[in-house]
């Protein structure tokens, strides 16, 4: 179908752009996208995945009615992009297509994040016909042995490269999601991969290395930031959350997307971003508007941050993140944030009353 053939999406993107321009190209409080984790079932056991011990939650997912309500509410808020993520949603292609239909592909830019294993030419064509627009494949380099080893699946690198090709052949946007950070900013392997992606006309959606676990204390320094800005200029096929993608000079920052891009878990909990393990509400109990209003009342999310809060803001990370290892056991924003963390006083009560069931409060 393609986004340009979706007039409702074009209208919403234009409205988003007008708001962005009016706001001095700062993302501010403008809702943009929603990442929807339908379930966490997966055929891989990747070393870096925090979901691998969570098989007991495999049966958790929102009902069709709950998904429909969420989609309608997202549409009303002007959200124009839905990013589908698992687990691996292509373990059951029919069920994924049903989810696409429930959201209504005509009203959103539809994106899938996948490990690529099941993305045959036939599956890619079915997905494109169902209204999927773009696919991000989880692949970080051309190093086949390392890729296969970290996924514990032989042949996974080959399939990921094939997936990029099959997606593009089916007429969808096809991109890879390499990780950038202090650990690889000077790595020739990264540049070899970026060259490959550019030559083959694939997109690049950067994920910043989160400074925890093996990368603890691995914050990007000024030199890494300089290199990241240079990459942005050299490789025109790249994008990252804080970059203003309307800037032809590829210099302007529109700011961190926390709450502008919501993350909804199979239990219905809502995080400000996939990398911020804090719940700001639950779609089974609250409207998406209430959740978004509450999220933006927290100053870290409501005020524009020029850097990625999760990867680059050491103070924020050390004070608020890393308390949960799972999207099924989130810390509640209502219990975590204190009066001084809110832009409008009184909003902390909304967070407390809107806590997801089972969300634990941290001990302070």
Binding site residues, ligand SF4, CB under 6 A: 241-242, 256-258, 261, 273, 275-276, 308-311
Helices 64-76 and 93-103 cross at an angle (nearest 10°) of: 40
Select 147 or 261, whichever has its Cβ closest to ligand SF4. Answer: 261
Minimum gap (Å) between residue 169 Cβ and ligand SF4: 30
Select 131 or 181, whichever has its Cβ closest to ligand SF4. Answer: 181
Asked if 354 and 291 count as a contact pair (C-beta separation under 8 A), the reply is: yes
Select 103 or 257, whichever has its Cβ closest to ligand SF4. Answer: 257
Minimum gap (Å) between residue 153 Cβ and ligand SF4: 26
Give SS3 for 331: strand
Minimum gap (Å) between residue 347 Cβ and ligand SF4: 20
Select 112 or 308, whichever has its Cβ closest to ligand SF4. Answer: 308
DSSP 8-state class, residue 276 = B
H or E segment to which residue 36 belongs: strand 33-37
Minimum gap (Å) between residue 301 Cβ and ligand SF4: 9
Q: How many helices (H) and strands (E) does the chain have?
A: 14, 13
Minimum gap (Å) between residue 128 Cβ and ligand SF4: 27
Minimum gap (Å) between residue 115 Cβ and ligand SF4: 20
Select 156 or 254, whichever has its Cβ closest to ligand SF4. Answer: 254
Minimum gap (Å) between residue 256 Cβ and ligand SF4: 3
Q: Distance between terminal CA atoms of the chain?
A: 51
- Give Cα 91 distance to the centre of its chain: 20
CA distance 181 to 183: 5
Those residues with Cβ within 8 angstroms of residue 99's Cβ, 6 or more apart along the chain or in another chain: 36, 38, 67, 84, 89
Distances (CA, A) of 51 to 74, 175, 265, 325: 26, 23, 12, 9
Q: Phi/psi class of residue 53: alpha, beta or left (left: φ > 0; alpha: ψ in -120 to 50)?
A: alpha
Select 264 or 309, whichever has its Cβ closest to ligand SF4. Answer: 309
Structure tokens at 62: 């929102």
H or E segment to which residue 208 belongs: strand 207-208
Select 6 or 261, whichever has its Cβ closest to ligand SF4. Answer: 261
Please name the residue that has the structure tokens 């959200």. 79
Please name the residue that has the structure tokens 């639950």. 282
Minimum gap (Å) between residue 323 Cβ and ligand SF4: 16
Select 301 or 342, whichever has its Cβ closest to ligand SF4. Answer: 301
Select 27 or 119, whichever has its Cβ closest to ligand SF4. Answer: 27
Give SS3 for 10: helix
Asked if 283 and 354 count as a contact pair (C-beta separation under 8 A), the reply is: no
Select 166 or 242, whichever has its Cβ closest to ligand SF4. Answer: 242
Minimum gap (Å) between residue 324 Cβ and ligand SF4: 15
- Give Cα 192 distance to the centre of its chain: 25
Structure tokens at 91: 């373990």
Minimum gap (Å) between residue 110 Cβ and ligand SF4: 20
């Amino acid at each position: 179908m393609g986004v340009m053939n979706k007039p409702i999406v074009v209208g919403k993107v234009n409205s988003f752009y007008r708001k962005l321009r009016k706001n001095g190209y700062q993302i501010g409080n403008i809702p943009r996208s929603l990442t929807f984790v339908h379930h966490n079932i997966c055929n891989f056991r990747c070393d870096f995945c925090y979901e691998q011990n969570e098989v007991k939650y495999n049966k958790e997912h929102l009902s069709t009615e709950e998904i429909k309500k969420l989609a309608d509410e997202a549409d009303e808020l002007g959200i124009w992009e839905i990013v589908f993520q698992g687990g691996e949603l292509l373990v059951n292609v029919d069920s994924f297509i049903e989810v696409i239909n429930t959201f209504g592909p005509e009203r959103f830019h539809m994106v899938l994040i996948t490990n690529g294993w099941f993305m045959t030419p036939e599956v890619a064509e079915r997905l494109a016909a169902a209204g999927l627009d773009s696919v991000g494949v989880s692949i970080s380099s051309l190093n086949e042995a390392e890729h296969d080893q970290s996924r514990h699946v032989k042949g996974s690198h080959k399939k990921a490269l094939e997936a990029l090709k099959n997606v593009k052949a089916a007429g969808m946007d096809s991109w890879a999601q390499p990780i950038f950070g202090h650990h690889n900013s000077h790595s020739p392997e990264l540049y070899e991969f970026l060259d490959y992606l550019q030559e083959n006309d694939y997109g690049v959606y950067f994920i910043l290395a989160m400074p925890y676990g093996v990368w603890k204390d691995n914050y990007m320094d000024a030199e890494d930031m300089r290199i990241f800005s240079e990459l942005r200029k050299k490789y025109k096929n790249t994008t990252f959350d804080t970059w203003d993608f309307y800037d032809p000079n590829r210099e302007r920052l529109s700011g961190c997307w926390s709450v502008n891009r919501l993350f909804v878990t199979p239990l219905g909990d809502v995080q400000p971003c996939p990398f911020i393990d804090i719940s700001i509400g639950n779609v089974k109990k609250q409207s998406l508007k209430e959740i978004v209003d509450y999220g933006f009342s927290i100053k870290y999310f409501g005020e524009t941050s020029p850097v990625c809060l999760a990867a680059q803001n050491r103070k924020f990370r050390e004070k608020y993140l890393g308390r949960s290892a799972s999207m099924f056991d989130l810390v509640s924003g209502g219990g975590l944030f204190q009066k001084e963390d809110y832009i409008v006083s009184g909003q902390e009560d909304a967070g407390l009353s809107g806590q997801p069931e089972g969300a634990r409060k941290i001990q302070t």
